[in-house]
Amino acid sequence: MKRRDADYCTLPLFANANMEICMKKGQIFEGIIERVDFANKGIVYIPEEEKYVTVKNGIPGQKVRFMINKFKRGNAEGRLIEIVEKSPLETRKAVCSIFPGCGGCMYQTMSYEEQMKMKEGQIRRIMDKAVNGDYVFEGVKASPKEFGYRNKMEFSFGNEYKDGPLSLGLHKKGSTYDILTASDCRLVHEDMNRILMCVLEYFRERNVSFYRKMQHIGYLRHLLLRRGDTTGEILVNLVTTTQEEHDLQPLTEALLKLDLDGKIVGILHILNDSLSDVVRSDETHILWGQDYFYEKLLGLEFKITPFSFFQPNTRGAEVLYETVRNYVGDIRDMTVFDLFSGTGTISQVLAPVAKQVVGVEIVEEAVEAAKENAARNGISNCKFIAGDVFQVLDELEEKPDVIVLDPPRDGIHPKALPKIIDRYRCEKVVYISCKPTSLARDLQAFQAGGYEVERVCCIDQFPNTVHIETVCLLRLKH
């Protein structure tokens, strides 16, 4: 499929660009969401104003009531007040009790086929604007699992409303404070829901406080759960402050008595006194078992610790890495650089068909895990280096034939880009992105540096949510 098909480009990419703004904050309008752009930006046309407005948290075809709440780069943005009429695309019932209030899922009431069609349009609009010349767009590949696919979930302690009972789950849509109890979340395996309710009931019975972000007081912060999709091994991580002390042995015993499909292999107490609302460890105590679990992917086995990066959809990751392997092509007798390599998953997938793979990752714990996993899988032609990509590229003696990039959501640091582009002049670069707008920005530098975009493919690693992975093959022009 070639780019710029008319059905993907009938509406402006930016709603009100170069238009005079006559609307005022506080005005209320109604309109139909004509499409949803990445990520979660509904586009509504207001005939009486002859303007487009961006309204988040909607589905294409819904009639919505909204209030203008800000203007950004010449675009009017509205806050959703009410869904007046359902969309014709909403053909099924919600499958969890807190939809649509929860911010985790957006599209449960749409068929999975329509979700993928919508996401395909989102990525094509972004890529069509970013890419110079023609390219091949290969559509969206589905996740093998639509529900129960997440192998990792961070749940927060809080309350659903002021002075309400303790809750444990996910943030209410549009809120940084209110927490909805996710007792039947369908993105995770039922084992995680059973563990969540066991932990919540334990602390509710004892009237234990949760950490209040504004006052910086309280005890309970997060429940981090990780479960091997292929192994069923579960790691339970309770994150608290050090402001209180509680006997957690009865909780440990209650967790081990749960009737689960999988098996708990470790229960950890992670201490975190950070002022910011992040899941991290100042100190970790093992309450029972071990501080790691195993997961298998494409025939390889990986040891995963509480904070190791590992794709959150194991089955979807297999589709993603098979796509990367296909884009890389024949790499016999070649050296591959895997930059932003995490725990070395991609490196080890490519190693059996390459001469050598060099992985670079800034998180030292991830690098140690990568080395250990490579040894466990009998892979000897992988080299892993801990450090910032920007600095490590100055020190490497090897010259890559192919580069694979899998950067964080915000893309590649502007200082690292010229080194990647100008120093090595690789024939192929494969760029994996979980934020297509960051990819689009970085593509400008690659194209200015002599690369052309050859192929683009999307993998829906996160069904029912606003997120999607994009893989892009860049080739050096001669």
Report residue 429: phi and psi, to 5°: -130, 130
Locus of tokens 């039922």: 190
State how far the Cα of 18 lies from the Cα of 30, in Å rounded to an integer: 23
Candidates 325, 340, 430; CA nearest to 384 is: 340
DSSP string for 361-379: ES-HHHHHHHHHHHHHTT-
> DSSP 3-state assignment of 473?
strand
Q: Which value, in Å, is the radius of gyration of the alpha carbons in the chain?
A: 24
As a 3-state breakdown, the chain gives helix, strand, coil percent values, each rounded to 5, of 25, 35, 45
Helical spans, DSSP H, in 74-181:
112-130
DSSP state letter for 415: T
If one counts every other C-beta atom within 10 angstroms of the C-beta of residue 267, the result is: 23
Give catalytic residue positions. 434
- CB half-sphere exposure, 87, CA atoms < 13 A: 26
Residue 361 and residue 384 in contact, taking contact as beta carbons nearer than 8 Å: yes
Write b or e for each residue in 85-123: b if 16 or more Cβ atoms lie within 10 A of its Cβ, otherwise e: eebebbeeeeebebbbebbbbbbbbbebebbbebbbbbb
Residue 439 and residue 411 in contact, taking contact as beta carbons nearer than 8 Å: yes
DSSP string for 418-446: HIIIIIH--SEEEEEES-HHHHHHHHHHH
Residue 382 and residue 359 in contact, taking contact as beta carbons nearer than 8 Å: yes
